[in-house]
Structure 1
């Protein structure tokens, strides 16, 4: 038996060696063929060629007009190199429309006997994805959590349209229902237009003794440019301040009722960070402008700016700095509405203060929000002993901000000057953990400067979410 086992081991070893040699030989042949093909393409990339025909296999629901708009640039190419580049870009666009499981591209000499010299046929072999799909998930952030479900239909009319029904229930935003139809423009996944209708219920009882219900419709155009991601929106929303608490302050009671806002808004986002939750390098910029007053009883101009920059300092140390500010300027009315104001404070906003706990407050109870704010912060993330290989960092921070209401009887410059006179500042130390789905912070916070209307969060403060400042 030992002799037989020995012979069996020798045969197995011989078989493995032969198999490895065969695989190595095939790989070498494949590598040589790939090099020859690459050299051939490079040598002929400037030779005159043109696309004689596009043939698409495997589609049943997608309209021909969608493919025509996507491959139009490839049809204009007149060299082999430009044809290969344009066909690659067209396949990438089709893939990012999220209606195909795969897209295989084949180039072949045209089989049409009437074709001119240099004619190429392009064959796209595709398989469409299932038209219906369901997605569920959870969201955590700003001291709130929610669960959501969305029912989606792909390629509704054959032009890569998406029909989505979204529902969410949570703690702070207690109920959301949205119905949205989106369509790419000329088959471009980086340029889409959508129309949506929604109903939203916000629970603001924890900091402002009321609920808010919104019903609205919106038309959006979203496009990716060299500057970043743009979103242009025209929307109309009917807002209701309701469910006023029995012990609510007079200002909240006076805010109760209905308002109608019709506005146009533009958002620009440029995100060059290497990670949205715990970046080690890169910067982030967001600009937001809104003009309300086309219809309804709400009139204002609103601007907001957000920025963040991150530097690696070496040996696992990271420095991060952020700056944000916003201005809400009402016109035709003497005072802004609470639905449109800014709120500040919380683990993801300004640490060391309770959620929306900064700024104007009545009777030290209800937060009223503000028309102008500025907030800034610096953080130092450090490696922890024996945990350098894990997504855990030590955290030292100083952050602060100011939130005020604009006095309509004063000049705007006088009101804005008060921002610098009333800063609220805190500092602290803690631990940051970056999981695959969210960022967790546990900080010991010490408020250093505060106004008499701020609600402080001294001691341990827990933060869960995606974006932290």
Structure 2
């Protein structure tokens, strides 16, 4: 009996100890939470995966190896519910969403979401009534601005946008007191809907007196000259918005608020109250940065707004890097001679320490800009330069008669050009184009002791590719022709290529003619081109694949296609409010003979290459 009792007791002890040890192991090795490597959709016909992923709270790691994307059951259930509501709001009232979690590797899973869209709800009929009439001169124009039309898929966002669109349309034609009644009758059995829009225009209204409040240093005259409407004109909401934007563009105000009064009365003459809050009259800005070409750089700016009144601006700019040191004063006079013209006068001193030369320049450059439209402007100007070529770092065979150290060159030239552009973002464009032709003519008749004609033409384009980023392209061509009396063009006026913003498989200014020591000589003709694919990677990070080509030629307006140099590479961008931080790796595909530089190049800077 005793041995049997001991045996049972021993078994119980071993069992309890095993449970304790197992529990301890479980506590010491917690189960790692599941991580979503990728989210995939099946069954989509009317939506893109990227569009539906924005609805989800659950995220995916994708290529982010160091990021976390935990899978939480409660959040996933709410995501499925959100997706179904989103599909309903976009016209799929019978949609169903199912999901499946598939193990990929260890704690990583693939989230598979199957969508059964079902038949869409379509608009079978649009009933538009304006002032009690179902047809008339207004109907065609109103139908053209409606976000929903017969045959379209019925969506809640478009339905809710009808009233806003109709209100803006009639407000632009002088009917800001228009009344709009929008109704929809949906049949889920037939999946058809009837949308009715009943419009009562109300009376024609006109702009009344303008009252300006809040301005202290900026005169009423400076504000009123930006107005695109006048008292007594037929009311237009578009003109109010345009005027507000023009006042913001003056950079004189922190706040610009327009209030159209008496909209809730029977009055047809509507006074306009403008409330502004002025910006600080003076601003000091200081910045610093680093680039692979100019190394550490710094800049400072002192700006005086509304300088001596009339909206004038005065800037004092200081910049310094290993390549350039600048001290400059800039004066801007808006409304010079004509409302659309602006006079800018720049003057100062510049010291350049480039790869092959060192030059000191004092200059004065008045430029008159005329803005024809929001996308097109032209300019003409006069550039006066007093240059002293302090040092030329070329070997004797490469030196020209114009490359003499301590030689002084006075350049007086006519400037002209066009800026034709339409981009969505000036710092990081994703859509649009730019065309930039520029002309410089230096002549003895203008007092110049160096005579030449210099012309450049550059085009840039940006095309969004749905969820795959942006395709960007650039093509630039330029040429210099010496005029009679100038056998050689000084080195500081020649073309150079290669580097961060040029052909990225080459070092800074090292693409083109080189001397025996590998120093750039510069040339009389320039060709550059680039093609980039900019694609999203993770949050604020973008990736880039690029192909560049170009060269610099010794003769004027000469292009030798067989001598073009090519490079390819990749890069990464980190988007900031002042533009993307850029890191590029370029490789020269057909470098010239010689061992002056590596075919591999690394470039770091701020801003896109173009």
Give the TM-score band, short-chain normalised: 0.7 to 0.9
Q: Secondary structure at the match of 1:339?
A: helix
Per the alignment, residue 401 of structure 1 pairs with 550
Larger Rg: 2
Distance 1:232 1:250 in 2: 34
Distance 2:427 2:245 in 1: 27
1:340 maps to which of 485, 490, 493: 493
Q: Secondary structure at the match of 1:336?
A: coil
Q: Secondary structure at the match of 1:94?
A: helix
Q: Secondary structure at the match of 1:78?
A: coil
Per the alignment, residue 137 of structure 2 pairs with none
Per the alignment, residue 255 of structure 2 pairs with 102
2:368 maps to which of 214, 221, 224: 221
Matched, 1:236 2:384: yes
Q: 1:453 to 1:219 in 2, by over 3 A?
A: farther
Q: 1:426 to 1:169 in 2, by over 3 A?
A: same
Deviation string 1:166-206 (CA, Å, 9 cap, x unpaired) is 11111111x211112212117999742122211111111xx
Matched, 1:66 2:256: no
Matched, 1:361 2:508: no
Shift, 1:278, TM fit: 5.5
Distance 1:86 1:314 in 2: 33
Distance 1:122 1:163 in 2: 32
Shift, 1:403, TM fit: 0.8
Matched, 1:49 2:49: no
Q: Secondary structure at the match of 2:218?
A: coil
Shift, 1:235, TM fit: 1.9
Distance 1:306 1:54 in 2: 44
Shift, 1:55, TM fit: 3.0
Alignment of 1:247-326 (within 5 A): 250-251=399-400, 254=404, 256-275=406-425, 279-293=429-443, 294-316=446-468, 318-326=470-478
1:75 maps to which of 230, 233, 252: 230
Alignment of 1:425-464 (within 5 A): 425-428=566-569, 430-436=570-576, 437-452=578-593, 455-464=596-605
Matched, 1:138 2:288: yes
Contact conserved, 1:217 with 1:235, CA < 8 A, in 2?
A: yes
Q: Secondary structure at the match of 2:243?
A: helix
Distance 1:314 1:86 in 2: 33
Contact conserved, 1:324 with 1:376, CA < 8 A, in 2?
A: yes
Matched, 1:422 2:577: no
Mean Cα deviation higher: 356-365 or 183-192 = 183-192
Segments of 5+ residues of structure 2 without an aligned counterpart are: 1-162, 179-199
TM-score normalised over the length of structure 1? 0.76
Mean Cα deviation higher: 452-461 or 331-340 = 452-461
Alignment of 1:134-173 (within 5 A): 134-138=284-288, 143-144=293-294, 145-173=296-324
Per the alignment, residue 15 of structure 1 pairs with none
Deviation string 1:351-392 (CA, Å, 9 cap, x unpaired) is 111100011222234312111011223334456xxx444423
Distance 1:254 1:125 in 2: 61
1:122 maps to which of 263, 268, 272: 272
Q: 1:459 to 1:129 in 2, by over 3 A?
A: closer
Matched, 1:201 2:343: no
Contact conserved, 2:513 with 2:552, CA < 8 A, in 1?
A: yes
Contact conserved, 2:291 with 2:603, CA < 8 A, in 1?
A: no
Q: Secondary structure at the match of 2:177?
A: helix
Distance 1:341 1:283 in 2: 27
Q: 1:277 to 1:86 in 2, by over 3 A?
A: closer
Shift, 1:315, TM fit: 4.5
Q: 1:416 to 1:220 in 2, by over 3 A?
A: same
Per the alignment, residue 246 of structure 2 pairs with 93
Per the alignment, residue 105 of structure 2 pairs with none
Distance 2:297 2:333 in 1: 28
Shift, 1:263, TM fit: 1.5
Shift, 1:231, TM fit: 3.5
Segments of 5+ residues of structure 1 without an aligned counterpart are: 1-30, 110-116, 407-411
Q: 1:342 to 1:46 in 2, by over 3 A?
A: farther
Query: Of Structure 1 and Structure 2, which has the larger fraction of its residues in strand?
Result: 1
Count residues in correspondence: 409
Contact conserved, 1:447 with 1:456, CA < 8 A, in 2?
A: no
Distance 1:405 1:45 in 2: 71
Asked which structure has the greater RCO (Cα within 8 Å, sep 6+), the reply is 1
TM-score normalised over the length of structure 2? 0.60
Distance 2:602 2:582 in 1: 8
Distance 1:424 1:454 in 2: 16
